[in-house]
């Protein structure tokens, strides 16, 4: 169980809703993932004359919590305005805050991110900031009022998995009581298991599932991997050692001549 702004959530998988082949495939992926939270981009679904209203209605019918996001925003005012629009559409104070600073890596503009987080928190939003694995930025976001952090493990959509395990491990150790959700860069269920083995609370996925040959099957595979990683962390894993250790003790072993 994970607690996010007072809401107790059983699933440790959050699922994005973009780029699925069809609404039916998306619906099946959500079902088989057993997720309780899906993210929705207000800007992307209403851009270019798309029928955002019908899409949003389908999302509501999934029976899960909606976490709107500010994907595609490149400045503070743009992100704040999008968040306010999302609150009107979905009737929620939750917002996944993205303020992109680099067009190639889609890395967050961490300075604008902190500023936007402070503004939105002051206006009653419960902010889920998409950030880097930088501890100083994380501290500033918490000071701005965020109670959840969403660090990347690699640039959005790259599917390369965790690039800096040391940084992720440090973030978990530095903020033991803060819910940490790994967001962006995960491509395989094994990647998700790895970050959960570090003690992270959840994983947010989109491209790795929506872009799979069978998104519904992949969603289920990720759900199982996330559960396995979390169980392994809870069980207490062996740390790597520099020398071999026999699994069968030799002391006290009977000797036959």
pLDDT, position 45: 54
Q: Is 185 annotated as a binding residue?
A: yes
Q: Is residue 29 part of a domain?
A: yes
- So what's the pLDDT on residue 54? 79
Q: Is residue 255 part of a domain?
A: no
Residue 193 lies in a domain: yes
Considering 31, 84, 96, 147, which one is annotated as catalytic? 96
* Rounded-to-integer distance, Cα 172 and Cα 256, Å: 51
pLDDT for the residue numbered 48: 46
HSE-CB of 43 using CA atoms within 13 angstroms? 17
Confirm or deny that 157 is annotated as ligand binding.
Answer: yes
What range defines the domain where residue 63 resides?
2-235
Say whether 206 counts as a known binding-site residue. yes
pLDDT at 49: 47
Q: Write out the two tokens for 133.
A: 């694995």
- Respond yes or no: is residue 96 known to be catalytic: yes
Per-block average pLDDT, block size 10, for the chain (257 residues)? 94 94 94 95 59 76 92 94 93 95 88 98 97 96 98 91 95 97 95 97 95 96 97 91 77 61
CA distances from 30 to 130, 137, 244, 254, 257 (A): 22, 32, 44, 57, 64
In a domain, 207, yes or no: yes
pLDDT of residue 126: 98
Instruction: Measure the CA–CA gap between 75 and 77, rounded to whole angstroms.
Output: 6
Residue 243, domain member (yes or no): no
Domain assignment present for residue 242? The answer is: no
From 199, 186, 254, select the one nearest 230 (Cα to Cα). Answer: 199
- Our count of domains for the chain comes to 1
Q: Position of tokens 């991110």?
A: 113
Q: What is the CATH number of the domain that holds 198?
A: 3.20.20.70
Q: How far apart are CA 150 and CA 185, in angstroms?
A: 12
Q: Are 156 and 122 in contact (CB under 8 A)?
A: no
Q: Binding residue per annotation — 93?
A: no
């Amino acid at each position: 169980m994970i607690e996010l702004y007072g809401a107790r959530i059983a699933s440790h998988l959050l699922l994005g809703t973009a780029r699925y082949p069809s609404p039916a495939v998306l619906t099946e992926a959500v079902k088989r993932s057993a997720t309780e939270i899906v993210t929705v981009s207000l800007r992307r679904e209403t851009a270019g004359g798309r029928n955002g209203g019908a899409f949003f209605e389908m999302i509501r019918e999934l029976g899960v919590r909606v976490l709107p996001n500010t994907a595609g925003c490149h400045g503070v005012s743009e992100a704040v305005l999008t968040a306010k629009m999302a609150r009107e559409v979905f009737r929620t104070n939750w917002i996944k805050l993205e303020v992109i600073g680099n067009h190639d890596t889609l890395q967050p503009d961490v300075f604008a991110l902190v500023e936007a987080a402070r503004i939105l928190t002051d206006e009653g939003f419960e902010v889920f900031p998409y950030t880097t694995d930088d501890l100083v930025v994380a501290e500033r976001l918490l000071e701005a009022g965020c109670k959840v952090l969403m660090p990347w493990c690699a640039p959005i959509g790259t599917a390369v998995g965790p690039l800096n395990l040391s940084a992720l491990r440090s973030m978990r150790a530095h903020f033991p009581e803060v819910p940490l959700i790994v967001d962006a860069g995960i491509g395989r269920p094994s990647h998700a298991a790895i970050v959960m083995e570090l003690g992270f609370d959840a994983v947010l996925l989109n491209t790795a599932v929506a872009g799979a040959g069978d998104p519904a099957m992949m969603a289920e595979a990720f759900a199982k991997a996330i559960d396995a990683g979390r169980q392994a962390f809870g069980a207490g894993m062996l740390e790597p050692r520099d020398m071999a250790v026999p699994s069968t003790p030799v002391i006290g072993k009977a000797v036959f001549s």
